[in-house]
Structure 1
Amino acid sequence: MSPTISIDDRGFTLGDGVFDTALALGGEVFARARHVARLVAAAQRIGIAIEAAAIEAALDAALTPAPTILRTTLTRGTAARGLWPASAGAPTLVVSATPWSPALLGQPARLVTANGRRNEFSPTANLKTLGYLDHILAAREAALAGVDDALILNTQGRIACTTIANLFALIGGRLITPSLKEGCLPGIMRALVIEAAPALGLSVEERPLAPQALAGADAVFLTNSVRFVRPVRSLDGALLGDGAALVNMLQDNLLRHAKLDR
């Protein structure tokens, strides 16, 4: 039976909540502690009280032996009308599971630059909130352009992220990725790539990155928790550096990590 959500739930009426997406392999959530900690921290940032143990229990209840994508949604629950409620009920916590296929790994991506901008000054810029309309509209632009994803710039015209991923570029022998101040999310795979890079002979810089810099990059790739590492083949129709060897090396490293994490 599917869980019943009240029509007065603030996640439904106001997008008042946060979410997380994780991959489960062999009945275990990959990088589980990181996902739970990030969701708890995001909830605290917007004033929702939730214990890690509650999220752990909800994940356990959703796990199956099959490879699955787990979407954890947390809302403020129901409350009286008004933007900031004088009091609220218990938070709503739901974990849904959908099948995952390894065919999602390594699929090349073509990007288009979205017209909308990500507000890096917003208090929610680094949170996976339920208010995802800006990214939905960017994804619509990508679909209308016949490509796979949209590159989202911040208010300064620098790279923030794509609709569903963090971005890295290999430039001058260094891996460059936008810092969190640029408005991107603190991706779990982003963090794992940054941590793995030195052992693979790569140095990493978290700094502002102009979209024009991608044209001269040796490789451009995306990271997220469902696709791991995804090479970018083109931006706005212009071909980008292949970087297949780098992408494969990082992908293999993360897959080994996934097996050890179980």
Structure 2
Amino acid sequence: MSRTIYLNGSWMPEGEAKISPFDRGFLMSDGIYEVTCVLDGKLVEYEGHAARLQRSARALDLNLPVDEAELLVLHREIVARNGLEQGMIYLQLTRGAADRDFIFPPMDTPSTLFMFTQAKDVLGNPAAEAGISVVTVPDLRWGRRDIKTVQLLYPSMAKMEAKAKGADDAWMVEDGVVTEASSATAHIVSADDRLITRDLSHALLPGITRASVLELAAAHGITVEERAFTVEEAQAAREAFITSATNFVIPVTSIDGARIADGKPGPLTQVLRALYVDTRRAAAI
């Protein structure tokens, strides 16, 4: 059965959607996106994703054609129209259609706002029990990774390189330290049980799930240290894990073939996943 999607003010079956070939999202990757998780038909951490969308739009001078109240209504309506109980909502905003030019078109050019849903068993993710393996690759992305743009070609290439090497994901490395995973935040747990994660900057995306997990860790007496860490430090860590909007907290059990501790998901990672799911599920709107 075809999904119902939202495009520029209209609801329609996905097969009827049409976007101009001159859309700058297609021609120039001139756009941003957000992904909001849905649990029990409700929006998880919606406020954080909506705020980051606004921040990304401001950073690129993009016009968001709906206000805050209407944006929430759209998210709730697309869940209802598609009967979505578990999964995600993908939103993409581009600068719209204009004649190809490196100079931005006038600010009154209509932007393109597109939303669709994907059903996914976010609670029953086997990786949460077994963990994942990662390999490291050079971070060759642009210098403003803190903006959630649609420039996702290199992360896709990194993920494909990981797959070719028999791993589940890639951790990107720049100047000898880990930046982030292909589409998630990277974390490690030191031998003395400190949760270490990269400090925020233009080098990485300010993850919504990242912020919540660090908050939960601190509230439960876990020392949090925001700083860069090397691949070697990660391989020697007691635990490693990633966080993202639809994977929540997923253990990493090996990096470049080196087993993390005993090669099994660590207890702190499992505690943080349970805390995150319980608290954010209860607070979903």
Say yes or no: TM over 0.5: yes
Moved more, 179-188 or 124-133: 179-188
Flag as ranges the 4+ runs of structure 1 deviating above 3 A. 115-119
Residue 103 of structure 1, aligned match among 114, 119, 124: 124
1:35 and 2:55 matched: no
Would you say the 8 A contact 2:42–2:85 is kept in 1?
no
1:244 and 2:263 aligned: no
| Letter paired with 1:60 | R
Distance apart, 1:115 and its partner CA: 3.7
* Partner residue in 1 for 2:181: 162
Superposed counterparts of 1:180-195, under 5 Å: 180-181=200-201, 183-195=203-215
- Aligned mates of 1:91, 1:217 — CA distance in 2: 46
2:249 alignment counterpart: 229
Q: Is the Cα–Cα contact under 8 Å of residues 41 and 84 in structure 2 kept in the other structure? A: yes
Summarize deviations over 1:34-89 as a string: whole Å, max 9, x none: 11111111011011022333432331231134212111111111122211234152
Q: Matches of residues 73-88 of structure 1 in structure 2 within 5 Å? A: 73-87=92-106
Scaled by the length of structure 1, the TM-score of the pair is 0.93
CA drift of 1:161 comes to: 0.4
Correspondences of 1:184-223 after superposition (within 5 Å): 184-223=204-243
Matched position secondary structure for 2:124: helix
2:8 matched to which residue of 1? none
Indicate if the aligned counterparts of 1:142 and 1:150 stay in contact, CA closer than 8 A.
yes
Query: Which stretches in structure 2 are left out of the alignment for 5+ residues?
Result: 1-12
Q: Could you tell me whether the CA contact under 8 Å between 1:194 and 1:204 is conserved in 2?
A: yes
What SS is found at the alignment partner of 2:37? strand
User: Aligned partners of 2:104 and 2:270: how far apart in 1?
Assistant: 49
Counterpart secondary structure, 2:117: strand
Query: What secondary structure sits across from 1:129 in the alignment?
Result: coil
The counterpart of 2:36, out of the listed 11, 22, 28, is: 22
SS for the counterpart of 2:57 is helix
Separation of aligned partners in 1, 2:209 and 2:58: 22
Report the secondary structure of 1:201's partner residue: coil
Do the aligned partners of residues 215 and 81 (structure 1) sit closer, same or farther apart at CA in structure 2, a change above 3 Å counting?
A: closer
Is the 1:118–1:153 contact (alpha carbons within 8 Å) kept by the matching residues of 2?
Answer: no
* Equivalent residue, structure 2, for 1:257: 279
Aligned residues: percent identity?
28
Deviates more, 1:227-236 or 1:85-94: 85-94
Paired residues, number: 258
2:74 to 53, 58, 78: 58
* Larger deviation, residues 24-33 vs 64-73: 64-73
- Equivalent residue in structure 2 for 1:139, among 159, 162, 165: 159
Cα distance per residue 1:123-157 (max 9 Å; x no partner) = x2112211111111111101111110001012x12
1:94 is displaced (CA, Å) by 1.1
Shift of 1:257: 1.2
Asked if 1:68 corresponds to 2:87, the answer is: yes
CA distance in 2, matches of 1:240, 1:182: 28
